[in-house]
Amino acid sequence: MNVIRVSFSSLIPHPYLETGWNTFQVNIYESETLFDRARKVLVGGVNSPVRAFHAVGGTPRFIKHAKGCMLTDVDGLNYIDYIGSWGPMILGHAHPDVLNALKNAADNGTSYGAPCEAEIELAEEIIHRMPSIEKIRFVNSGTEATMSAVRLARAATGRDVIVKFAGCYHGHADSFLIQAGSGIATFGLPDSPGVTSGSARDTRIARFNDFSSVEAVFNNEKDRIAAVIVEPVAGNMGVVPTEDGFLEGLREICTHNGTLLIFDEVMTGFRVSKGGAQELFGVNPDITTLGKIIGGGLPVGAYGGRADLMSMIAPEGPVYQAGTLSGNPLAMAAGFKTLQLLNEDAYDNLEISSRRLEEGLNQAISETGTTAVVQRIGSMLTLFFSSNPVRNMDDAVNADHERFGRFFNAMLDRGVHLPPSGYEAWFISLTHGEEVIDRTISAVKDIILNVP
Ligand code: KE4
C-alpha cells in the first residue's frame, strides 16, 4: 500500500482515502494482485519491458479502460495519460470515429489474408502526405518496418554496413541491438545476449548531432555503407531534436556516396507535423519507416520510398518480406480514420496544448530554481533533470534518472501517468485540454517543491 503526502492544491480528482494530516493512501491492491498473477505467466508480467517500471520502481498500473487523455486503472484510479500507447493515441483514447471505423470493419471480418480496399486507402493517404514515398509496404510493427528497410537498402546497394546513432532505437531486430564500442563512430558490439558478433559486425555507431562522427565512418569505409538510419527527431533517449544542418548533412553525404538514407519515422510520422519530420525539416530520405499513429492503436508498421527501390520487394522483385496480418483491415481502418482526422487544425491545436505544457514546465523550473530542461518538437516532449541541454545519448545518460524515478512515482500518485523512463517521450493528444495541462504543471511544481 503506497502512502504519499500531497498538498491539496495539486490534488487531481482521485479516489484517495484521506487518512488525516494531509496524507493519502493510494490503494493499488488490484494492480498489485494482477501484477503478481501476470508474473507467473508473462515474462516480467508484461509484454514489453519498459512497462514493468524497472526504470522507475513501483507497481505498474493495470489499466481497465481509457478515454480521451485519461487512463483508469483496475483500482478505479484516474490518470492524465502522457504515454499515449507510446505514440499512437494522438487523437486521444477511444475516439468515437475511430471506434466506429473499427466496428464497421470488424463487422466485415477481422482478417482475410487477401487484398482489400482499406490497404489502398491508407497507402494513398500516407503517400499524399509524404511525397518521398511512391510505394509502400505495410507490416505489423515498427521493428518489422525498420528491419525490412535495412534489408532493402542492402539489396539495393549491394553493400552490408549500416550506420545508426547511439541512443536511437529502431526496434529489436539484431542489426539495431548494437552498442557503441569505445570511441566515436565505432564498430558495433552486441547489446543483447543472442545478438551475434556476425550481426554486430555490419553495424556502425555514430554520435547523434555530431556530423564529424558520421564523416569518420564514411572516411573509413564509404564504399561499404548501405544505409544510414536515423530518428529525425530522437524520441528514445528522451526527445532530442536534430540540430540545424544535421539532417541536411546526412542527406548530402549519403547522396554523394551512393548510400541510402532511412528516416525512422515510426514515432515522428504524423506526430510532429502533417507530413512527419521530413516535411517539418524539408529533408527527404530514400526510405521512410512508419508505425504507431498509422495504425490508430492497432498493430502496424510500414516502409516506403521511391518506386524503383520498392519494386525490389517481393513479389515485384527478389527481396523477400512477408506477413500474415500485414495490411490487416482493422488496423488499416483505424489508421486511415486517424489520419483523416489529423488535419491542419488538429496540428494547430496540438501545438497550442504542447506549447502550454512546455511553457508551464519551464515556468515551474524557473520559479523553483530546480535543475531541469524541457525539450520539445511538436506534441512530443521530455523533461530531463539535467543542468544542460541534451544533445546526444551521453548527455541523456548524464541526466538524473534516480530523480526522474522519484518524480515519476510522485506524479503517478498525483494522478499523472508519465512514460516510466527518463529516456522516453511524453505524448500530448488532441484531448489534452487546458485544464489537464494546468493540473499537470501544478503537480510538477508541487513535486519539485516537496519531493527531493
Ligand atoms: P515497435 O516494434 O515497438 O512497433 O516499433 C519499434 C520502434 C521503431 N522505431 C522507433 C523510432 C520507435 O520509437 C520504436 C518503438 N518505440 C518504443 C517507445 N520508445 C515502443 C515502446 C516499447 O518498446 O514498449
Residue owning grid cell 516506403: 304
Average confidence (pLDDT) over 161-183: 89
pLDDT at 250 over 50: yes
Q: Is the pLDDT of residue 19 over 60?
A: no
pLDDT of residue 25: 61
pLDDT digits over 319-373, tens only? 999 999 999 999 999 999 999 999 999 999 999 999 999 999 999 999 999 999 9
Q: How far apart are CA 120 and CA 134, in angstroms?
A: 13
pLDDT score for 11: 42
Q: Active site includes 423? A: no
The residue type found at 108 is: N
**Residues 6 or more apart whose Cβ sits within 8 Å of residue 306:** 132, 134, 135, 286
Residue-wise pLDDT tens digits, 183-218: 555 667 788 999 999 989 999 999 999 999 999 999
- The CATH class given to the 96-341 domain equals alpha beta
Q: Is the CB of 377 under 6 A from ligand 1?
A: no
For residue 292, indicate whether it is catalytic: yes
Q: Cell numbers 548530402 label which residue?
A: 252
86 lines ligand 1 (CB under 6 A): yes
Residue 7 has pLDDT above 70, yes or no: no
pLDDT for 173 equals 96
* Average pLDDT of the segment spanning 241-269: 98
Kindly tell me if the per-residue pLDDT of 409 is higher than 70.
Answer: yes
CA atoms within 13 A on the CB side of 448: 21
Mutate which of 165, 169, 176 to test ligand 1's pocket (most atoms within 8 Å of Cβ)? 169
Residue 291 CA, closest ligand 1 atom number: 4
Q: Mean per-residue pLDDT for 109-123?
A: 98
The yes/no answer on whether domain 4-81+343-450 falls in CATH 3.30.1490.20 is no
pLDDT recorded at residue 179: 82
Bigger pLDDT: 181 vs 211: 211
Q: Please state the atom number of ligand 1 nearest to the C-alpha of residue 289.
A: 9
Domain ranges in the chain are 4-81+343-450, 96-341
Mean pLDDT score of the chain, rounded to an integer?
Answer: 93
Max Cα distance, the chain (Å): 71
CA 349 to ligand 1 centroid distance, Å: 25
Cβ(171) to ligand 1 under 6 A?
A: yes
pTM over 0.85: yes
Amino acid present at 10: S
The letter for the amino acid at 167 is G
Phi, psi of 333 (to 5 degrees): -65, -45
Is the fold of 4-81+343-450 the same as that of 96-341?
Answer: no
Strands 135-139 and 70-73: unpaired
User: How far is ligand 1, taken at its centre, from the CA of residue 268, in Å?
Assistant: 11
Kindly give the distance from the C-alpha atom of residue 280 to the centroid of ligand 1, in angstroms, as a whole number: 21
- Work out which ligand 1 atom sits closest to the CA atom of 144: 2
Mean pLDDT of 286-300: 98
**Ligand 1: which of 85, 86, 298, 300 to mutate, judged by most atoms within 8 Å of the beta carbon?**
86
Residue 384 Cα to ligand 1 middle (Å) = 20
H-state helical runs in 202-320: 211-221, 246-257, 276-281, 307-310
Distance (Å) from CA 236 to ligand 1 centroid: 8
Distance from the alpha carbon of residue 446 to the mean position of ligand 1, in angstroms: 32
CB of 232 within 6 A of ligand 1: the answer is no
pLDDT of res. 9: 36
Percent residues over pLDDT 70 in the chain: 93
Nearest CA to ligand 1 atom 18: 86
From the candidates 16, 79, 82, 169, which is the catalytic residue?
169
